[in-house]
Amino acid sequence: MLVLAATPIGNPADASQRLRDLLADADVVAAEDTRRLRRLASDLGVQIAGRVVSYFEGNESRRTPELVGELEAGRTVVLVTDAGMPSVSDPGYRLVAAAVDAGIDVTSAPGPSAALAALAVSGLPVDRFTFEGFLPRKAGERDRALAALVDEPRTMVFFEAPHRTADTLDAMRAAFGEQRPAAVCRELTKTYEEVRRGPLAELAVWARPEGDDARVRGEVTVVVGGAPPRTFDEDTLRAMVAEGERAGLSRKDAIADVATRTGVRRRVVFDLVHR
């Protein structure tokens, strides 16, 4: 069996008893950073009896067949990353996919999650959200990714490196507007945990005050409120339906398309068009 085991995102006391048992009993422990794994095991008072191997972005392709071979031989393989759940913006997806293809059981030992912890403390709506992970590093690609999210109505959760956080907040301010509510969560569960809440304009200034480009340190998760509902007047809705018809849609399909795009009930659009 392959077990994806969540590790603490900062505070070792958040480790579950199940994680301790898995590390102690597994035949193979695959770790993103074996040194960090050893430190965690020491903090938890756990003796790892099985074989420890590295499994990180640089060797995933090569190591995956080897680990699948261990699983096919009947051994238990536990996969851990530096923090949180494997395969969520961390190594693991390739191994899970290969194990599933080989007919091997895959399960998880859930635990700490930076994305969920940040979402919970952000003060922003949590009923519906989208996890966007890390934005592209190149400015142009990052800006295009943000532009595609301008109308996203759900709360958005991003991971970011501390040295890029100020630039990312500036880009978010430009894309989403200065008053879009957000929260920057850093060092969650650690000694110097900090959550800054406010409009993007305020957070961008906080992240890079004049004369200081190193305000943000540690692990960072950014939570951004979704786009507010857009309002459409009657003439605009009628024009959108007419545009759809000119593009070749039937009136029924054009009405359905406008209702989907705007969030206005289909019956309302229908009545406007036929009034």
pLDDT of 249 reads 93
Q: Confidence band (pLDDT; 50, 70, 90) for 213? A: low
Span 231-247, pLDDT tens digits:
888 899 999 999 999 99
User: Which one has a higher pLDDT value, 260 or 172?
Assistant: 172
pLDDT of 38 reads 96
Residue 260: CB atoms within 10 A of its CB come to: 11
Query: Is residue 135 pLDDT above 80, yes or no?
Result: yes
Query: Is residue 169 pLDDT above 70, yes or no?
Result: yes
SS (H, E, C) the chain: CEEEECECCCCHHHCCHHHHHHHHHCCEEEECCHHHHHHHHHHHCCCCCCEEEECCCCCHHHHHHHHHHHHHCCCCEEEECCCECCCCCCCCHHHHHHHHHCCCCEEEECCCCHHHHHHHHCCCCCCCEEEEEECCCCHHHHHHHHHCCCCCCCEEEEEECHHHHHHHHHHHHHHHCCCCEEEEEECCCCCCCEEEEEEHHHHHHHHCCCCCCCCCCCCEEEEECCCCCCCCCHHHHHHHHHHHHHCCCCHHHHHHHHHHHHCCCHHHHHHHHHC
- Select from 62, 125, 71 the least CA-distant residue to 100: 71
The full set of domains in the chain, from first to last, is: 2-112 (3.40.1010.10), 115-224 (3.30.950.10), 234-274 (no CATH)
Query: Is residue 211 pLDDT above 70, yes or no?
Result: no
- Select from 167, 220, 164 the least CA-distant residue to 194: 220
The rounded percent of the chain whose pLDDT value lies above 90 is 87
Span 91-100, pLDDT tens digits:
999 999 999 9
The rounded percent of the chain whose pLDDT value lies above 70 is 98
Span 41-84, pLDDT tens digits:
999 999 999 999 999 999 999 999 999 999 999 999 999 999 99
Contacts of 137 (CB under 8 A, 6+ apart): 164
Span 108-134, pLDDT tens digits:
999 999 999 999 999 999 999 999 999
